[in-house]
Amino acid sequence: MIPGRQEGSVPVARPWRLVLGLGNPGVDYNSTRHNVGFDALDLCASRFQVDWKTDKHVMLAEVPDFRCTLVKPLTYMNRSGVALRQTWLHYGLEETTSIFVVTDDFHLPLGGMRIRAQGSTGGHNGLASIEDVLGCQDYPRLRIGVGNPGNNSVNFVLDTFSKAEEPIIEETLMTASWAVEDWVKEVPLEDLQARYNRRKPQAE
């Protein structure tokens, strides 16, 4: 018998968790800077060998072995919180530490990555929408650097990467997908930060 458990008791299942990759739906937004959250989750879904299914405002890929679901909102970036609210209620989540948000960040150099337990939106509309739903900034997130937009951030994040940038972002997305996979496997956030946080890409 397991120490501390009374005979005949039923083990308590771990709470379900969500990985929310931010982006915009539709072919017009494929491979754009704003969609790196989608792209990283696509790599994870492929490695976990799970399929995407559409459910109202979201695309879901459940990873039952780890009691976790990958989520891509279909509500467009500015309403990412709507998709989060739907999945949050569906899975009966209670703690904001049960979600992990993957998003682009033009404040980070191309290929940089930063994992944090909390923080401001940094002017990111998707994170602002999530904060409105949660009522706080205390949720873990992975920011993926997509480069400096100069004076036109709107057009910049909706543009694709240049040929010169492609090798850097490909390596970065693969590394980001490993970070997501480690979070799914319950590697502590402090260990993820030590392992993956970086200012510069590896493929320069």
Residue 77 and residue 32 in contact, taking contact as beta carbons nearer than 8 Å: no
Residue 110 and residue 147 in contact, taking contact as beta carbons nearer than 8 Å: yes
**Per-residue model confidence (pLDDT) at position 148:** 87
CA 74 to chain centre: 14
- DSSP, residue by residue, 22-72: ----SGGGTTBGGGHHHHHHHHHHHHHT---EEETTEEEEEEGGGTEEEEE
CATH fold of the domain at 17-196: Rossmann fold (3.40.50)
pLDDT exceeds cutoff 80 at 7: no
Does the pTM surpass 0.85? The reply is: yes
Mean pLDDT of the region 91-111:
95
Enumerate the domain spans of the chain: 17-196
Q: Which element (helix H / strand E) includes 176?
A: helix 166-184
What tens digit of pLDDT does each residue of 112-124 get?
999 999 999 998 9
* 6 or 170, greater pLDDT: 170
Which residue type sits at 5?
R
Nearest CA-CA partner of 21 in 3, 40, 2, 6: 40
Mean pLDDT of the region 53-60:
95
Mean model confidence pLDDT for the chain: 92
What tens digit of pLDDT does each residue of 152-184 get?
888 999 999 999 999 999 999 999 999 999 999
Catalytically active residues are 34
Residue that is written with structure tokens 């879901």 in the block: 60
Nearest CA-CA partner of 181 in 37, 33, 66: 66
How far is Cα 113 from Cα 197, in angstroms, rounded to an integer?
A: 5
How far is Cα 74 from Cα 59, in angstroms, rounded to an integer?
A: 7
pLDDT exceeds cutoff 50 at 1: no
